Amino acid sequence: MKSVFPATYSTLCPTALSSLISEKYRLENVQCKFLLRGVGDTYLIEASEAKFILRVYRSSHRSLPQIREEVKLLQALEQAKVSVSYPITDVFGEAIQKLEAVEGERYAVLFSFARGRVVQLLSENQLRVLGSEMARFHNIASTISLGEARWSFDLETTVFKPLEKLRSIFKENVEGHSWLCEMAHRVEQKLSQIDIERFSKGYCHFDFLPKNFHFENDSVTFFDFDFMGSGWLVNDIMTFWQHLILDVYTGRMTQQAANESYRIFIDGYRLNRPIRDEELAAVPYLSLGFWLFYMGFHTTHDQFTAFSQPPHLNFYTAFLKHIVDNYWDK
């Protein structure tokens, strides 16, 4: 009998997934199309009833308890009428499907489709809506309790542990790694001067870049909560601020335009939730943790090997130096 060669990661067949979705969710004329690889694999599901997104998680990166907590958060947000792509339950009331892949058990979740499209340059109304809806998300995220399977975002997990992971890939740029370590201690010093105990806490998306929300006219829908974890909620404001600053750095936006966009976004946020000036003052410093966290993650995921090569590392470091030079205290 011919044996199947072991695999650490496989791409599941769209045709077989179409049959599974049709059976589990009682949908008609299901068509499944592979879209992209990431922490999990993403498929577009088109049926007679509607369009959906199927996420098939990689067991090496997301455990079942971690997936359950993501689902639980999104269900709470959907119940509260926060505009998110939410899990769809099958005919038995289950939101998570177990699949037997070549490499072993994998899990999948069917999500509602986020209508609209990615918008890189947001209008005033869209900026205000984005801030307002993020605040509504935080109003739920600051009160719900999910368990202990997800990670926390703090200085240890976003700065110091990633720096250790990055030591080996900076072997050709020891000076660059030393500079990052120096900046890490500056962030630690800066936060020691702020009353961070008064910062709002809860579950963060931690990746509020335009690729993770769709606009249909002036209506926004959030999706891709794959990295959600607990921490200071201002981290989500920081991730969007970085999008604006990156546009300034690459010449797609002037500093004046970025400042005005950020002001409108924060005004929108404050329509539904307060944010302290001290929290906003920490945003440029928390940015270091955003980049180090994802740079560290890239070292654990074969899909992102290219992002751990010198050209990308040099770009990230140069951008961080731009932030330090222009947005940190002198």
Return the H-helix or E-strand segment holding 50. none
**Helix H or strand E segment including 31:** strand 31-37
What is the rounded CA–CA span in Å between residue 78 and residue 86? 6
Number of neighbouring beta carbons within 10 Å of residue 119? 15
Q: Residue 2 pLDDT > 80, yes or no?
A: no
Neighbours of 182 (CB within 10 A): 10
Q: What confidence tens digit (pLDDT) does each residue in 126-164 have? A: 999 999 999 999 999 999 999 999 999 999 999 999 999
Q: What is the pLDDT of residue 304?
A: 83
pLDDT value at residue 195:
92
pLDDT of residue 201: 98
Q: What is the pTM of this model?
A: 0.95
Per-residue model confidence as pLDDT tens digits over 84-132: 999 999 999 999 999 999 999 999 999 999 999 999 999 999 999 999 9
Structure confidence by residue, pLDDT tens digits, 288-330:
999 999 999 999 888 888 889 999 999 999 999 999 999 999 8
Which of 52, 53, 57 is closest to 37 using CA atoms? 57
Q: What percent of the chain has pLDDT over 90?
A: 91
User: Residue type for 132, please?
Assistant: S
